[in-house]
Chains A and B, each alone.
Chain A
Amino acid sequence: DTGVSQDPRHKITKRGQNVTFRCDPISEHNRLYWYRQTLGQGPEFLTYFQNEAQLEKSRLLSDRFSAERPKGSFSTLEIQRTEQGDSAMYLCASSPRLAENSYNEQFFGPGTRLTVL
């Protein structure tokens, strides 16, 4: 499967614990995005990378959240001291290098569903 993969698919944790999610984008896609989706809502942007550089962060990304893409390939999203309000589906997407006048179609992974008890 050459699509975007995410690991784990499900994570149950207790409040106060730290969790880390991984995203492997489609190879050669230089842009990688993280979104969060709560029940009944559309995905909300968290952050995105171009290669290893984190170029934009949403206000939703509090100090407890950190994302990295150290070698410009896979990315990790860590949540420290989890809260019940962090329970959501965390989606990763990637897109290829944009040629001039091309547009940003994003390819999504299956998501990691986080439940904080």
Chain B
Amino acid sequence: GESVGLHLPTLSVQEGDNSIINCAYSNSASDYFIWYKQESGKGPQFIIDIRSNMDKRQGQRVTVLLNKTVKHLSLQIAATQPGDSAVYFCAETTNNAGNMLTFGGGTRLMVKP
């Protein structure tokens, strides 16, 4: 069936470096994508979203890139900080799926001081 997945289960970066977390999706009809951050023992928190009519969206220190040609989504975190250490999930949905999200398996980001 359709699925959303991640390339790397764990990413380790040095504090101050930029981080890039990747996500592949297989449903070509997906038109809305979200990145969530989940700290240990807590619920996921919304970070940033992007619609399929865009290929880039920027927030505070975060940028999401969408490549519909290869069905690839990425989250870039600038100047990674220890507080960024968490598991990051991508999620996608389509127009006719209502509020139903399909979640990827997650990538653990570890920031080394």
Whether A associates with B in a native complex is no
Residues of A bordering B, CB below 8 Å: none
